Homo-oligomer: A and B are copies of this chain.
Amino acid sequence: MGDLVEQLRSGLPAEAVVTDPDITASYRNDMASFCEAGDPAVVVLPRTVEQVQHVMRTATALRVPVVPQGALTGLSGAANAVEGCIALSLVKMDRILDIDPVNRIAVVEPGVVNAVLSKAVAEKGLYYPPDPSSWEQCTIGGNIGTGSGGLCCVKYGVTAEYVLGLEVVLADGRLMTTGRRTAKGVAGYDLTRLFVGAEGTLGIVVRAVLALRPTPPPQLVLAAEFSSVEAASDAVCRIMEGGHVPSLLELMDHTTIRAVNALANMGLPGSTQALLLAAFDTPEPSADLAEVGRLCEQAGAVAVVPADDVAESELLLQARRLSLVALETLGTTMIDDVAVPRSRLGRMLSGVSAIADKYGLTIGVCAHAGDGNTHPVVCFDAGDPDETRRARESFDEIMALGLELGGTITGEHGVGVLKKEWLARELGPTGVELQRGIRSVFDPLGILNPGKVF
């Protein structure tokens, strides 16, 4: 341990190597605080690629595990420290190196906060779509590590689709470039994509070339109230089958609506069972909203309220963005992330409701409904062992239901510690064997985020 810190200090500025346990303790956990975690032996905060290389060379020489970290807003424990590790925080590498409107790319360091990048590119008439709920805190490096999504995905896709190329420090400290700065490229296996969602198990992303889009017109939002989640899900299917391309299509259930009202008094319709929010950023959004409103009515909507303007639209989105925070006021929470084919969204949601009844628990659901990506939030009293056990069992049963419906255990939050047994179930033994094989190619000593993913 003395050796480790000394060797780290030999290639890092003094302030970049932290051993004070009061400080290092704050690098133990991401937001999945109920997942296992250990105490880091040391926290390092490099500012340059060379410093990251020094950290990895040291870790390789001393066989010390390294856990890469961003803003610690993750929900699966992927960034949780392991006992005695180097917690490698990339937050100080936060420079935007280039924003290029002709090539529609940005080149960034991993510690750039999502919202900072979004605002910087917006000033040049450009748009970086991925918008996880934590966008005002989370970093691009973390978004790449977990393969983050957000509200925009139904039209604009997930983080993976915006990562063109990377610079990566490998486990042994070598620097590698993947991908391209060009719009297209098929030179060799797609290593760039392999790193996205790898949760820091294959290497340390130290630079990213990101694709940008032109800024779309401002979106207008419609809210539709339903007397059941199944009816709202039916509306989702009709909208997508009808060939519409909403810029978001979100669902909040009764529990979530009540929690948001209690927290922020936003005047959401408290008696409704499911609220669907649909938005369009097309040249004539009100025409699209009118058509979608009709489809909602055909699916049984009890009220359809198109926003009159952008300000009213933004208010509705704020309510949606508050969902997780609001549900967290109901107790300790475990946030699931099951995505199913959207045609099975109704069965997924009614199944979650049955699971909540079976275990006698409150499970609020918000969902990126257009993607079939649900976030059932299991609320429980962590001080009550029986309730905690029931929470964990219901959480697992939700994943089992998702797999049964042809879905995946994680649409956008990643595997981390929380879901690693479940990943094996989803991938099957052959898939796991090959994934382990790939991991060994990149990390033969097993020092990169050990114990995560699988």
Contact = CB atoms under 8 A, between A and B. Distances in A.
Interface stretch (A51-59, A258-266, A312-320, A401-409): A401-409
Interface in A29-50: none
A182 interface: yes
Nearest to A157: B161
Interface centre among A125, A437, A441 (most CB of B within 10 A): A441
Interface residues of A, number: 87
A66 interface: no
Contacts of A147: 186
Nearest to A409: B187
A369 to B, nearest CB: 10
A243 B189 contact: no
Interface in A191-216: 191, 193-194, 196-198, 202, 213-215
Counting every copy of the chain, the complex holds 2
Interface stretch (A88-96, A337-345, A352-360, A382-390): A337-345
A215 B438 CA distance: 38
Pairs A-B, 3 closest by C-beta atoms: A214-B243, A437-B441, A147-B186
Contacts of A343: 100, 102-103
Given A177-B428, A194-B193, A373-B183, A453 B101 contact: no
Contacts of A135: none
Interface in A317-371: 339-343, 368, 370-371
Given A188-B435, A237-B102, A283-B284, A182 B411 contact: yes
Contacts of A100: 341, 343
A81 to B, nearest CB: 22
Contact of A198 (B146, B189, B438): B189
Interface in A414-443: 414-415, 423, 426-428, 430-431, 434-435, 437-442
A411 B186 contact: yes
A381 interface: no
Contacts of A174: 430
B435 A191 contact: yes
